[in-house]
């Protein structure tokens, strides 16, 4: 019985940790005793050597004994005594320098194994606890939302039955609709969370926990084999094969040979056998909805006009995550197949030539086989976890996709005749609301049936099929007709972003000059001049807010502060607060002040002064009147800050084809509408926090300063609306890593040297600009025409001579990063030099993973002890020597990039 079957319970887990601690103590005791034993043997060897030399001095040559057999026998004994001493000293030295070092390495490995097992066990068990807690909180919030819904529904019914239409009724209706939408969305969140929790809990018991224990058992068995080999070495080094020693060593040998990794833990597993953890049930509480709430059903998603958009967004996110998981599955499966093929090749050679003969010819194969086995075990465990994740996501995908597909709603919605168009956060009625029409029709029909019956029917079916294609009800006939008088009154209603109906103002067909509070005229159009030295703005009624040069879209606040540098500088931008889009006026006045544009009940815009039908007129008035935006701030608008030339409009970029995925979002092949130029576009996910968006824009801010043939060219940034995008030149060859992998065996040495030369040229340019890239690797370089290389991905870059990181190593590429950056968080251009050496190794190895077969932690330990990777096949010796210079532990001993470029150029010309 193995670990996975017997030790799933808490008692079994504690026993595994206790057994490992006991084995660590035993290993440490062995290390101490063996070191002491070697010291004793050396002292004994020294005493024997001294004794042999004393015998030589005392036994002076005597011609009378030249033919004596006794004398010759004595000389053989004395000479043998010195040989005995030398052999014992050599064995003691080997015991300390080799065997004890292996024992120390085994102790380190065992401690690391225990830590990994403990952390992995904590991680997967904590996830069950987290999901239990999340389900409890979600249920509590569900109950609160349900109470709010019932309360708002009751109030709306009471007001409606009073037969007093007006603002109060509209407000109660709006609250009811918001509560209804919130309940439906909360219902879906709760159902999906229960599904996720149940799937994870099942996989925890059947796959993850047994898999972890099975992996830990294999790790323990591998270390038992290493432990056994160490004891065999000790036995061989201390075996004198004389007298009692022979008997003792025979007993030791018999005991050591009796060790078997397969049976080592059999009795231990049986003795500490415990039951697996009890299943945790995640089910929709059947009494949560009581007698029922509308069309909501326990354990089933609510797919209707209130939830269809959010479900589509969630479905899109799940599909993205599924693609990532499946890609990672394929990558790890391919790597596992490579390992298994290599293992089969090694074992085939062992069978043909014999273990001893083969390992004599290729000693590294003896150590390669256990490394491959350990790496394969890790991949098996990671593949199991990825398959579980794929299963969870597919289940969630089907839960959302199937009901959407049944209603024909799986595609993104298009503007329907009854939908509201949102521009820059302003809601303008594209045509009359059918929801409002239905409501008016129901209200006018009250004479035909009782009010109570009407209100029940209206609340039972607030969204009929002809009102919204995403509804759940069947068609109830054509939309009701209205009289011209009704039509006029209903045109004054529009659907707000949250689904409620509010009055809207209808501007006249012609827009005359508008007098402001100080008597100035706000001209609808025409060229602008200047009044008292202040730039005059003009208002064009045909120009939307996005086209105003002083409107900067969703530009983050940090970028806004960078643009507003003098007193009176201002601009307008858009932000999202509590899931609501808001227009903000940012002004530099003493400090940086940000004013949210207020909306009146009539749909006009204002600060503290008069209200205007459009934001453009409000800003024009505030600019010309010379009065403070608010009395408290005293901020006066003097100089509008127009968009920079590289700030493009999102509509100017036509996304064509998704070609990759970055840290912040997707990467697309696109086209500029005006010029027809094909470009590459990086997008930033809308859901990212502001801090991440700031890091995303930092890459664009760095790139726009640089102009070099080996640096990817910056074209512009789109911040007028979501998603934020960085537009760069399209480099046709894709990433350097994929390129060298796809052209393995096809590139000449000179072509690969040319790639190293291009990279050195670009990095020398960056070093001259005091730019530290911090993530230089083949994956972050692009291949252009004629195999030219361009450096890309400046998301981690810093424009400083020296930079310190204090936020941990979460996103640090360990195998490409210099030791001083890993150990002390200190980055300089010489850290990029270390990464450049690894990049060159990637090129000549055709894209192999650095320190292949070693974890990040192990690779880091090996580097600290002086290990450096061997040169790939066909690497010029002078180039490998340059790599070794780049990998000098002391950064001061590494060359700078101008020197590297010169050296690589000389090597390139010599080929």
Find out whether 325 is annotated in a ligand binding site: no
Q: How many Å apart are CA 284 and CA 324, to the nearest integer?
A: 30
User: DSSP character for 252?
Assistant: H
Helices and strands: H and E segment counts in the chain? 24, 24
- Rounded to a whole number of angstroms, the distance between the first and last alpha carbons of the chain is 62
Number of neighbouring beta carbons within 10 Å of residue 437: 20
Which token pair is 809? 């190593």
Q: Which helix (H) or strand (E) holds 108?
A: helix 100-161
Find out whether 57 is annotated in a ligand binding site: no
Angle at 729 between CA 727 and CA 732, to 5 degrees: 130
Q: How many Å apart are CA 570 and CA 820, to the nearest integer?
A: 44
Find out whether 257 is annotated in a ligand binding site: no
Angle at 602 between CA 155 and CA 442, to 5 degrees: 45
Beta bridge partners of 598: 606
Which token pair is 689? 């926090």
Find out whether 661 is annotated in a ligand binding site: yes
* Residue 511 CA, distance from chain mean position: 52
Q: How many Å apart are CA 587 and CA 566, to the nearest integer?
A: 9
Q: How many Å apart are CA 608 and CA 630, to the nearest integer?
A: 6
Q: How many Å apart are CA 20 and CA 760, to the nearest integer?
A: 49
Find out whether 659 is annotated in a ligand binding site: yes
**Residue 827 DSSP SS3:** strand
Q: Which helix (H) or strand (E) holds 586?
A: strand 580-589
Beta bridge partners of 716: 727
Contact 490, 482 (CB under 8 A): yes
**Residue 421 DSSP SS3:** strand
* Residue 910 CA, distance from chain mean position: 43
- Helices 167-203 & 364-407, crossing angle to 10 degrees? 150
Contact 753, 876 (CB under 8 A): yes
Find out whether 665 is annotated in a ligand binding site: yes
Exposure on the CB side of residue 360, measured as CA atoms within 13 A: 5
Q: How many Å apart are CA 841 and CA 685, to the nearest integer?
A: 34
Residue 120: CB partners within 8 Å, gap ≥ 6?
212
Find out whether 711 is annotated in a ligand binding site: no
Active site members: 775
Q: Omega before 723 cis (within 30°)?
A: yes
Find out whether 387 is annotated in a ligand binding site: no
Find out whether 243 is annotated in a ligand binding site: no
- List C-alpha distances in Å: 537 to 522, 549, 621, 634, 775: 9, 10, 9, 21, 45
Angle at 317 between CA 311 and CA 319, to 5 degrees: 100
Alpha helices, H only, 720-815:
736-742, 749-768
Residue located via tokens 């049976």: 263
Which token pair is 575? 């932000």
Which token pair is 858? 């192990």
Contact 368, 360 (CB under 8 A): no
Q: Is the dihedral of CA 838, 844, 850, 854 positive or negative?
A: negative
Find out whether 280 is annotated in a ligand binding site: no
Q: List, as residue ranges, the binding site for ATP.
A: 659-667, 682
Q: List, as residue ranges, the binding site.
A: 659-667, 682
């Amino acid at each position: 019985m193995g670990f996975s079957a017997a030790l799933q319970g808490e008692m079994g887990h504690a026993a595994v940790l206790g057994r490992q601690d006991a084995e660590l103590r035993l290993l440490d005791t062995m290390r101490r005793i063996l070191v002491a034993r070697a010291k004793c043997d050396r002292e004994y060897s020294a005493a024997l050597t001294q004794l042999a030399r004393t015998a030589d001095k005392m036994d002076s040559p005597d011609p009378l004994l030249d033919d004596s057999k006794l004398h010759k026998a004595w000389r053989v004994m004395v000479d043998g005594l010195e040989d005995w001493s030398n052999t014992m000293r050599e064995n003691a030295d080997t015991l300390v320098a080799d065997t004890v070092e292996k024992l120390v390495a085994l102790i380190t490995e065992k401690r690391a194994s225990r830590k990994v097992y403990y952390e992995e066990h904590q991680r997967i068990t904590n996830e069950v606890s987290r999901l239990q807690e999340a389900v409890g909180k979600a249920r509590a919030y569900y109950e609160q939302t349900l109470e709010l819904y019932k309360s708002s529904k009751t109030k709306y019914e009471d007001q409606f039955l009073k037969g007093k239409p007006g603002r109060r009724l509209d407000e109660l209706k709006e609250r009811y609709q918001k509560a209804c939408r919130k309940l439906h969305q909360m219902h879906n969140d709760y159902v999906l969370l229960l599904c996720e929790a149940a799937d994870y809990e099942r996989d925890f018991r059947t796959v993850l926990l047994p898999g972890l224990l099975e992996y830990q058992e294999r790790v323990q068995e591998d270390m038992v084999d290493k432990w056994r080999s160490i004891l065999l070495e000790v036995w061989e080094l201390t075996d004198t094969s004389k007298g009692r020693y022979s008997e003792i060593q025979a007993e030791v040998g018999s005991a050591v040979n009796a060790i078997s990794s397969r049976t080592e833990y059999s009795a231990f597993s049986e003795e500490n056998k415990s039951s697996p953890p009890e299943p945790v049930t995640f089910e929709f509480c059947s009494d949560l909805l009581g007698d029922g709430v509308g069309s909501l059903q326990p354990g089933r998603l609510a797919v209707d006009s209130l939830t269809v958009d959010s479900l589509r967004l969630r479905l899109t996110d799940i599909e993205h995550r599924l693609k990532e998981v499946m890609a990672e599955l394929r990558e790890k499966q391919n790597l596992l197949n490579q390992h298994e093929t290599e293992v089969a090749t090694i074992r085939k050679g062992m069978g043909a030539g014999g273990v001893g003969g083969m390992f004599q010819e290729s000693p590294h194969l003896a150590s390669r086989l256990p490394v491959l086995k350990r790496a394969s075990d890790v991949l098996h465990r990671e593949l199991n976890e990825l398959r579980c994740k794929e299963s969870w996501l597919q289940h969630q995908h089907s839960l959302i996709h199937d009901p959407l597909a049944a209603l024909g709603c799986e595609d993104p919605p298009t503007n329907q005749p009854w939908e509201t168009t949102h521009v820059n956060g302003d809601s303008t009625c594209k045509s009359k609301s059918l929801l409002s029409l239905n409501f008016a029709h129901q209200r006018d029909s009250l004479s035909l049936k009782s009010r109570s019956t009407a209100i029940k029917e209206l609340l039972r079916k607030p969204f009929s099929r002809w009102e919204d294609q995403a509804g759940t009800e069947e068609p109830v006939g054509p939309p009701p007709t209205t009289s011209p008088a009704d039509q006029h009154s209903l045109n004054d209603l529009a659907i707000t972003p949250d689904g409620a109906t509010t009055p809207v103002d209808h501007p006249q067909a012609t827009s005359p000059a508008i007098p402001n509070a100080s008597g100035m005229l706000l001209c609808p159009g025409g060229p602008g001049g200047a009044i008292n030295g202040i730039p005059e703005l003009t208002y064009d009624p045909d120009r939307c807010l996005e086209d105003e040069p002083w409107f900067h879209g969703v530009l983050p606040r940090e970028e806004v502060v960078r643009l507003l540098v003098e007193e009176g500088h201002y601009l307008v931008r858009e932000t999202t607060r509590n899931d609501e889009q808001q227009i903000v006026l940012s002004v530099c006045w003493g400090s940086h002040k940000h004013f949210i544009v207020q909306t009146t009940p009539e749909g006009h815009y204002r600060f503290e002064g008069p209200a205007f039908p459009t934001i453009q007129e409000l800003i024009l008035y505030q600019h010309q009147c010379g009065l403070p935006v608010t009395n408290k701030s005293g901020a006066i608008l003097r100089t509008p800050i127009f968009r920079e030339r590289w700030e493009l409009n999102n509509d100017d970029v036509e996304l064509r084809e998704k070609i990759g995925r970055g840290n912040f979002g997707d990467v697309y092949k696109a086209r500029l509408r005006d010029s027809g130029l094909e470009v590459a576009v990086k997008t930033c996910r809308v859901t990212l926090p502001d801090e991440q968006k700031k890091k995303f824009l930092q890459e664009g801010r760095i790139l726009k300063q640089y102009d070099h043939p080996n640096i990817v060219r910056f074209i512009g940034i789109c911040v007028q609306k979501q998603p934020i995008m960085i537009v760069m030149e399209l480099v046709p060859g894709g990433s350097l890593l994929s390129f060298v992998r796809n052209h393995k065996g096809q590139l000449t040495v000179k072509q690969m040297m040319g790639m190293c030369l291009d990279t050195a040229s670009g990095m020398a340019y960056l070093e001259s600009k005091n730019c530290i890239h911090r993530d230089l690797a083949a994956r972050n370089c692009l291949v252009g025409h004629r195999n030219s290389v361009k450096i890309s991905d400046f998301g981690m870059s810093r424009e400083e001579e020296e930079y310190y990181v204090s936020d941990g190593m979460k996103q640090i590429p360990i195998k490409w990063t210099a030791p001083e950056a890993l150990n002390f968080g200190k980055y300089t251009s010489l850290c990029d030099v270390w990464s450049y050496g690894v990049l060159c190794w990637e090129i000549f190895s055709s894209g192999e993973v650095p320190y292949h077969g070693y974890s990040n932690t192990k690779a880091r330990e090996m580097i600290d002890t002086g290990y450096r990777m061997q040169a790939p096949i066909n690497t010029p010796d002078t180039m490998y020597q340059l790599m070794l210079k780049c990998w000098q532990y002391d950064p001061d001993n590494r060359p700078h990039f101008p020197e590297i470029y010169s050296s690589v150029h000389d090597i390139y010309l010599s080929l």
